[in-house]
A and B are shown apart, each in its own frame.
Chain A
């Protein structure tokens, strides 16, 4: 297995270079270093000299991808792309355009993101699987029928609606929790309840239907018939046999997102005033801060690759027949 993991990590390097290159190209198609300088220096009284000075200080005065004036390897290395990319591979994200250390920012914002994303993920998994199993248990009855109708209805509603409706009902009308904000320690609980609840409810429709489909597919397999023929109750069949055998598709969807939980949710964090990584990324895009954007995209890619490796490893845990070689 170790050899497999090392091989996968090595595969990740060209992928990360590619991701970095695409991010770089997309960013600089929309923004030039001059635009970035203007955004940072403000609108009033900005002189061409000030823009040039800003670019030199941050290394944005060099050619983007190819330096014709440099010699030999310098043609590739004395460029914005090379200089800004190399440090990323040792996780040195450098400084944002406002001078703040990006790694420190990421570190401090990871916890608020996790504080919402992790409970939503865990609770969501429990709730969606439970409801899906119940619908499968009552398959072909009115409970299953109306369950599916309800799921489709929930899927059709925008996540923004859940946020606004949740804030309106729970916070504004009923005064149960603060509308937005964030605190430290136990004080954070009152701010997290509503976003977590909305996060879970917001995906009930799609996730429950997804798990229901997985379970229904399992229900038609022969081992289920055998289990029933042994006289096992439907409850035992579902929770002991079907659930265990459906683990591979469940893990495929679930484990891969675990590392991405660190990156937070763009919309929820913005509406609930949670100072997480989701809002950090949005702010960076709005302020054309390339240093942060590339750091977040790079981090997202690394975490996604990690998620895929973890998924593969998790297969071996739930199905002893699988070997990673």
Chain B
């Protein structure tokens, strides 16, 4: 055993020495051969659950699928507010409206007259899928791997074990196939429920497929969706398809920029449906097949995911136009150049923030977010509170990019609660004033400063900046909470809040009717020590009004359960926009979306008739001054009713090394990796400079060991040479 251990250690040391001999940094976690290659090193913290575009939705999944799959549309990389441009589509589809008799209506037809909207999408010819065994065929045209037997499967453990691959041209039927998959009985598309309300016949189609699935003989896992017709989706010709929508739904076009509407070739579905492959975890959910700039070549979600440039990727070029300032920020240097720039992207799973941060500082990750524990080390505020990197970061050439996320974190009031919501007209009026008073008292400027290191902006309404419908400056402030002073919003004084509280029937926090102090309940899923500080802070905010805030902390499951059943009184929640339209925020307070009544997304269960009508009107309108007026009125209603404390919109802070170029961060478009560029030579040089091994501790360790061994050896010798019984003379 001892020999085995010594041999193992010698082997380890040998490997270690060999890697050190080639002048390569000892602490480099990557292969020496990759040192100067055009590779982007990225991180993922949570393993993706799904890579099938019909199922994947969360950001940790879309960061992969958006590079591999191509929906017909995409967002312009540089322009803001966000603009849709064609991806595989020839052009942005122009929607046509029809009445009940099938007559085409003019573009400005009233929404109530529109029975159906039709989107006709033409894709560019000549686009090829990535090479994949699902397309491999014999010379005679038979599929090579569509009916694998046990013998063939025996040597297959991963997708790359298939020696042959093939490709084929992207067709309209691939998009239609994917839309049909939204209703597949064995798949769980998160948007199926939503799309079933709009895509004509999708709901019935799901029932047909379910029946067909139950009738499948012999436990077959594949059934060809091409055999089942979906009324609302139609192939017009080889490159064109139509989607028929019930009524008018202008936001539908944004969904066409999401991977849910990316193409899936039937061959892939057929190939991956083989039981032998499923048993080996080789499924469409784990091995995507797309036409995008990258393809997944290594898929170990426990350790590393690798995207490599798709050699079949069609011609696409870096944008030639951007926003003012983009040219100055070197964002237009690569205008007109063919995409993508980076050959390979290695995503390493890094669950803990400390190793992630340190590896970034050593140059082994090209970019990182900033955790609260490393914020002071990375960022300093200068001038008018402008954030910039610290000197130490600047010396390393690290730069900071910030952007306001299209998200909102809010504190909601359960409007079904008798105290904060009210159950009759008088109570509702009283509760409204109570909510307004709390809105003034809870100082989100302070919250952002203390708990988010300044990374956020107080929200004036649910709508996030950067979204059409958002208003900036004086006309954008919430007049219930803020005044416009010295060209900036100023939170109203606590006296105003106290006056509102008294009007609500709680002068100085005492219930006029009962004489008891007002106690409110805050439901949270707090766990960490930082959470406890936040809750203490929140209690103090309510204490300003002499309101006692009782925190009811629970686990996430119970919390969700309370929200669903309407048992929470005050709660915290957040929302990331699906698409850059005000409707995607404002629908969160739409009455029929009530969480309690209809399991919708309106967690506050807010229900205002005027607001509901305005939303129904607004969501069917195209962007323009008329729509803006309605949005303004809706926001006004919301501010008056204050069903939420509007909270704040988080700011994303990202640190990037000098060799990382063309960065314009945003959270709406996810297929951005094709635009990014790396100066691999500079990175290799910096890594060498920053990571030279420090050898003096080894010498010190040996010296300390020798010094400490010396008395031990001396004592040992003395001990060994001593006699059991000392002589009488000594």
Contact = CB atoms under 8 A, between A and B. Distances in A.
A14 interface: no
A179 B691 contact: no
Given A109-B302, A180-B350, A181-B348, A126 B5 contact: yes
Interface in B219-257: none
B525 interface: no
Nearest to A48: B599
Interface stretch (A95-103, A206-214, A239-247, A311-319): A95-103
B403 to A, nearest CB: 22
A175 B693 contact: yes
A271 B357 CA distance: 12
Contacts of A187: 15, 31
B533 to A, nearest CB: 21
B359 A190 contact: no
Given A50-B193, A177-B27, A180-B29, A57 B15 contact: no
Nearest to B693: A175
Interface stretch (A4-12, A38-46, A248-256, A302-310): A38-46
B355 interface: yes
B557 A32 contact: yes
Interface string A22-43: 0000000011100100101110
Interface stretch (B330-338, B646-654, B712-720): B712-720
A141 B349 contact: no
Interface residues of A, number: 72
B697 A174 contact: yes
A35 B557 contact: yes
Contacts of A271: 351-352, 354-355
A273 B11 contact: no
A98 B47 CA distance: 11
A228 interface: yes
A285 interface: no
A178 B363 CA distance: 12
Contact of B351 (A46, A101, A174, A273): A273
Kindly name the residue among A134, A180, A270 whose own CB sees the greatest number of chain B CB atoms within 10 A.
A180
Given A32-B557, A38-B560, A99 B26 contact: no
Given A44-B57, A47-B599, A138-B719, A179 B302 contact: no
A131 B29 CA distance: 33
Contacts of A149: none
Contacts of A287: 49
B12 interface: yes
Given A181-B348, A273-B350, A191 B29 contact: yes
Interface residues of B, number: 68
B25 interface: yes
A280 B28 CA distance: 25
A46 B57 CA distance: 12
Contacts, number: 166
Interface stretch (B278-286, B410-418, B620-628): B278-286
B355 A167 contact: yes
A171 interface: yes
Nearest to B52: A99
Interface string B11-45: 11001100100000111110100000000000000
B712 A143 contact: yes
Contacts of A283: 47
A281 to B, nearest CB: 12
Contacts of B716: 137-138
Contact of B281 (A35, A45, A100): A100
B29 A178 contact: yes
A294 B608 CA distance: 47
Given A50-B188, A190-B29, 11 more contacts: A42-B58, A45-B190, A101-B281, A105-B281, A167-B354, A171-B27, A175-B25, A177-B26, A180-B355, A273-B348, A288-B557
Interface of B: 1-2, 5, 8, 11-12, 15-16, 19, 25-29, 31, 47, 49-50, 57-58, 185-186, 188, 190-194, 279-281, 283, 285-286, 300, 302-303, 348-352, 354-355, 358-359, 361-362, 364, 555, 557, 560-561, 578, 599, 601, 691-694, 697, 711-712, 715-716, 719-720, 724
